Structure 1
Amino acid sequence: MHIEGLRIETAEKEPTYSEDGIPEIRAGTKAVIRLFGTGITPDTLITFTDIPAERGTVCDKIKSNEFSVIQDFQIRTYETLLPFWLTIIIILVCLSFSALFSGLNLGLMAIDRTELKILVNTGTETEKKYARTIQPVRNHGNYLLCSILFSNVLVNSVFTIMLDELTSGIVAIICSTLAIVIFGEISPQAFCSRHGLFVGAKTIYLTKLTMLITFPLSYPISKLLDVILGEEIGNVYNRERLKELVKVTNEYNDLEKDEVNIIAGALELRKKSVADIMTRIEDVYMLNYNAVLDFETVSEIMKSGHKGHMAFVQRVNNEGEGDPFYEVIGLVTLEDVIEELIQAEIIDETDVFTDNRSKRKRQVRQKAPTDFTMFAEKKENQRIHISPQLTLAMFQYLSTTVDTFKPDIISEPILRRLLKQDIIYHVKVKSREKAKTDPAAIIYQQGKAVDYFVLILEGRVEVTVGKENMMFESGPFTYFGSQALTANIGIAESPTNANPQTVGSIQSVNLDSMLRHTFIPDYTVRAVTEVFYVKVKRSLYLAAKRASLLERRQKDSLPGQEQFDDEVEKVAISYIKKTKK
C-alpha cells in the first residue's frame, strides 16, 4: 500500500492551513478525509501518528484510533438517456410551448370579459368570430390562468433540465435564463399584447387540451381562488370613469368631438339642476303686462332673441322673520336642457349674442339676428312715409327676389340705407276713368327713355304692352325697369378701355357711371287706383353698388366699425350730390 496524499472533504468546523500547507482540524471533531494512493482496499485500516519516519519502517507510535476505508475512489462513465438530436428537438419544442403559454397568459387574461361581450356584439366580422371562440374558455378565468401557468412552469423546467444534459450547470442556467426571457417571455408577450385575440382563437384547441391535462391540479386551485377572490365580472365603469374613458380614447376612436360632448353631457345630466342651467331673472327680457303688440314691440322681442318652451324657476325664500315664500329666480327653457345634454350652444336665426349663464360671447355664430327696429325709425328725409311693416316687406322682397338687389350685389346694410332715401312716391287717382287721361298717373311711357326702377307697394296699375296694346293689371310687389339699372346699351363720355378683370370691381362701377344709359320700355305702366311705389334711380343704385364693394374691401382689412360707417356714408352722399347737380 502506498499513500500519495490526502484532502479534507468535510469537517464540523472549517479547517485551516499552516504556512507550509498542512491542514489543521480542531481536536475532538469529526471530519471526512479522502486519501489518494495505491493498494487501498475495503479491508485496509488507517491510523495516524505525529512522529515522522522513513517509508518502509515499522510505525509503532500510533496516536489515533483505527479507521476503516468506507469506499475506494473510482471513475465511472455513463451515456445520456436520449440521443443528442432528440434532446435538441425537445429543447426547441419546450421553448416554443414556453413562448405560447407566456403569450396566452398575457393575451387571454388581458382580454376582459366585458370587452369580449362588446366585441361579440359590435366588432368586425373577424373580431366577432374570434371573440365567440374565446369567450367560453375565458369565462373560466382562474381555471384558465392556473392551467396556463402550470404548463408554462412545466415546459420551462423540462427545458432547463434538458439543457443541463448538454452543458455544465452554470452554462445551462445562463443559457436557459436568456432563452426563456427573450424567446419565451418578452417576444411572445409583446406580440400577444396587440394580437391576443387572434392568437387565442387560433390556439383554442391546444388551450383546451392543456386545461384537460392539468385538470387535477388546476381545477381545485382555481375553485379555491374563486372562493377567496370572488367571481370575475370584468371591468365595470361608473359615470365618471365612462366619461373619462371616452375622452382619453378620443384620439384613437372614430368619435367626433360633438359626439364626445353629447356623451359627456348625457352622463352628467342626472347631476344637473335647473338652477345650474337657467337664465337669471334679472337677465330675462320681459314686457309690461299692458304692452301693445305693435310693430315696434314685436321688433324688440325679435331683437332680444327667441326663447322656446319655458318655465319659471322658483326657490323657497325663508330669509328674515316673515313666512317663507316662493321667489322667482330665473327662467329655464327646453333649449337650455338640450344644450346641457349635447354640451353645446344652440345657435338659431333669432338667438342672442351671449351665453345665458357665463355672459361670454358665443364663438360660433352663423348670422346675427336682424334688427327689425330700424324699419320702425322715422325717415326725416322722406316726403312720403309708409308703415314699418311695409318697409320690412319691401326690404325682404328686394333682397330675395330681385336679382339686382340681392346681397351678392347690394349688401343688406347698404340696401337698408338706400331704402331710407327719398324714394317713395304716391299717385292719387280719383277714378279709373280719370286715370286714363291723367298724365300724373303714368309711371312708365312706352318708347320714352327712363333711368329708374319701380316697385309697386300698394294699389293697382294697368300695363299696356307692344304694338298690339295688350293690357293687363298688376298689383302690389310687381316691379318694372330692372334693365334701367344695368349698363346694357350706352355711349362713353370719355374714352376708356375696360379691362375684363375689373368687372364686378369699383373700377367697373366707375365706368358704368360714365355711360349715358338709355332704357326704352316697350310698355306703359299707368296707375288706375291710388298707388304707392318705390322709384330707384340708376345713379342712386350705382352709389349703393359702389358702397357695397367698398364695404367688402374694408371688411377684409377689418376696419373699425365707426370708420366703416363713415366711409359708406361718404360714398353714398357723394353720388347723391352728383345726381342732384
Structure 2
Amino acid sequence: MSQIVNTAHAKSTINIQLLAVTIQVMSTCHKIFSTTYILPTILEKLIRKNCKKVEATQFSCLKEAGIVQPKPAVLYRKGEFSNKFIMILTGRAVVTIGKEEMRLEAGAWHNFGTEVLDAMVEAIDRSANQTTSRSTMSLNTEVTNNTIGFIPDFDAVILYECKFCEITAPDLLLAYNSSQIMQNNSKVQVVRSNSRSSLIEEIPKETSTPIRNGSVKLRTVSESETVKLLPKNDTCHFKKIADAETEENEDEQEQEEQEEE
C-alpha cells in the first residue's frame, strides 16, 4: 500500500541541497519558470508548497509476503483531463503507454505535463495585449474553466517511495500574479526614492537655531562682530566725527592756557 502525503509543512521532506537543484532544473526546463514570468523567490515557495512524497506504510512486511497488494499512487490516467505539471525529484514513476501497454520507468528530473506550461504561457501572452482588468479576468476565467490543461495518452503511477513536485494551473497563475505584484512594488519604491533624492537636492539647507530643553537659545553678538557688519562708509563717518571731537578738545585747551597767562 502506498499513499500520497502532502508535505507543505514537513521541512524534512526536501532539504536545501535538493531544493537548490530543483530550482535550477525547473528554471531551465521551461520559460514559464524564468524571471520573466515567475521570480526566483516565488518559485522557491511554489516548490516548497507543492512538494509531495509517496511512502510505504506499515504494511510493507505484508506486501512482501504477497498478502497485501500495493495500491499505486496515480499521477495521470489515460484519457482523463489534467491540469498538473509533475517533476520527479527522487525515486521513480511507472508509465504505461501505447496499445501494447508498454511499461517504462521515469527517474529523477523527468517531468510530465509540459502542455500545461505551454498553455499557461499562451494565456499570459494573450492577456498582455489587453487592459489590466480584462487580462486578469481572462486569465482567471481560463483557469477556473479548466481550459488550461491536456488529456494524457498514458498512465503514470508510483509504486515505491518517491518525491515529486506537482504544480497545477491555479498554482502557476497565483505565482505569476504574485511575481507581477512584487515587480510593480519594487518599481514604485525606486520611483519614490529617486523623487525624494531630487527634492532633497533642490531644497536649500536652512540654518538651524540651537535648542536646549525645548526652548530656543538666543546667541548674543559681540561689539567687534557688530562693527564688522556695518558698511564701510558708516565706519568712515564715525572716524571723521571722532577726529572733529579731538580737534575741538585741542582748541579748548589752547584757549585755557592763554587765559591763564
TM-score, length basis structure 1: 0.26
Would you say 1:483 and 2:115 are equivalent positions?
Answer: yes
Matches within 5 A, 1:203-222: none
Aligned mates of 1:455, 1:523 — CA distance in 2: 16
Unmatched runs of 5 consecutive residues or more in structure 1 = 1-378, 489-497, 561-581
Would you say 1:533 and 2:164 are equivalent positions?
Answer: yes
Contact 1:427 1:441 in 2 (8 A): no
Matches within 5 A, 1:454-493: 454-485=86-117, 487=119
Would you say 1:443 and 2:75 are equivalent positions?
Answer: yes
- 1:531 Cα deviation (Å)? 1.0
- 1:550 Cα deviation (Å)? 2.0
TM-score, length basis structure 2: 0.54
Contact 1:432 1:528 in 2 (8 A): no
Q: Paired residue for 2:19, among 377, 387, 391?
A: 391
Contact 2:54 2:73 in 1 (8 A): no
Unmatched runs of 5 consecutive residues or more in structure 2 = 1-6, 121-125, 192-261
Contact 2:79 2:151 in 1 (8 A): yes
Contact 2:50 2:165 in 1 (8 A): no
Aligned mates of 1:442, 1:386 — CA distance in 2: 21
Aligned mates of 2:98, 2:109 — CA distance in 1: 22
What residue in structure 1 maps to residue 36 of structure 2?
A: 408
What residue in structure 1 maps to residue 174 of structure 2?
A: 543
Aligned mates of 2:84, 2:131 — CA distance in 1: 22
Would you say 1:510 and 2:122 are equivalent positions?
Answer: no
Would you say 1:553 and 2:181 are equivalent positions?
Answer: no
1:373-396: CA deviation from partner (whole Å, max 9, x where unpaired): xxxxxx973476222111111111
- 1:559 Cα deviation (Å)? 6.2
Contact 2:71 2:159 in 1 (8 A): no
Aligned mates of 1:512, 1:552 — CA distance in 2: 24
1:6-48: CA deviation from partner (whole Å, max 9, x where unpaired): xxxxxxxxxxxxxxxxxxxxxxxxxxxxxxxxxxxxxxxxxxx
Q: Please tell me the residue identity of whatever aligns with 2:9.
A: N
Aligned mates of 2:80, 2:48 — CA distance in 1: 28
Contact 2:97 2:103 in 1 (8 A): yes
Paired-residue identity, %: 25
Aligned mates of 1:385, 1:559 — CA distance in 2: 38
- Say if 1:487 and 1:476 are closer, same or farther in 2 by CA, change over 3 A: same
- Say if 1:482 and 1:549 are closer, same or farther in 2 by CA, change over 3 A: same
- 1:507 Cα deviation (Å)? 5.1
SS across alignment from 2:36: coil
SS across alignment from 2:22: helix
Aligned mates of 1:433, 1:401 — CA distance in 2: 41
Contact 2:54 2:162 in 1 (8 A): yes
- Say if 1:425 and 1:395 are closer, same or farther in 2 by CA, change over 3 A: same
Aligned mates of 1:433, 1:473 — CA distance in 2: 24
Contact 2:73 2:157 in 1 (8 A): yes
Q: Please tell me the residue identity of whatever aligns with 1:516.
A: N
Aligned mates of 1:433, 1:455 — CA distance in 2: 32
Which structure has the larger Rg over C-alpha atoms? 1
- Say if 1:383 and 1:515 are closer, same or farther in 2 by CA, change over 3 A: farther
Q: Please tell me the residue identity of whatever aligns with 2:19.
A: T
- Say if 1:534 and 1:500 are closer, same or farther in 2 by CA, change over 3 A: closer
Contact 2:8 2:51 in 1 (8 A): no
SS across alignment from 1:462: strand
Aligned mates of 2:18, 2:27 — CA distance in 1: 14
- Say if 1:383 and 1:453 are closer, same or farther in 2 by CA, change over 3 A: farther
- Say if 1:559 and 1:511 are closer, same or farther in 2 by CA, change over 3 A: farther
Matches within 5 A, 1:344-355: none
How many residues are paired up? 171
Aligned mates of 2:139, 2:171 — CA distance in 1: 12
Aligned mates of 2:131, 2:104 — CA distance in 1: 38
SS across alignment from 2:152: coil
Contact 1:453 1:481 in 2 (8 A): yes
1:332-368: CA deviation from partner (whole Å, max 9, x where unpaired): xxxxxxxxxxxxxxxxxxxxxxxxxxxxxxxxxxxxx
1:411-453: CA deviation from partner (whole Å, max 9, x where unpaired): 112111222325322243857997xx64433222212222222
Contact 1:454 1:481 in 2 (8 A): yes
Matches within 5 A, 1:13-32: none
- 1:542 Cα deviation (Å)? 1.0
Aligned mates of 2:145, 2:89 — CA distance in 1: 30
- 1:459 Cα deviation (Å)? 0.8
Contact 2:8 2:49 in 1 (8 A): no
Contact 1:506 1:549 in 2 (8 A): no
SS across alignment from 1:453: strand
What residue in structure 2 maps to residue 190 of structure 1?
A: none
- Say if 1:433 and 1:456 are closer, same or farther in 2 by CA, change over 3 A: farther
- 1:485 Cα deviation (Å)? 4.6
Matches within 5 A, 1:299-448: 381-382=9-10, 385-428=13-56, 438-448=70-80
- Say if 1:386 and 1:417 are closer, same or farther in 2 by CA, change over 3 A: closer
Report which structure shows greater RCO (CA 8 Å, sep ≥6).
Answer: 2
Q: Please tell me the residue identity of whatever aligns with 2:110.
A: T
- Say if 1:409 and 1:384 are closer, same or farther in 2 by CA, change over 3 A: same
Q: Please tell me the residue identity of whatever aligns with 2:74.
A: I
Q: Please tell me the residue identity of whatever aligns with 1:548.
A: S
CA RMSD of aligned residues (A): 3.4
Matches within 5 A, 1:7-156: none
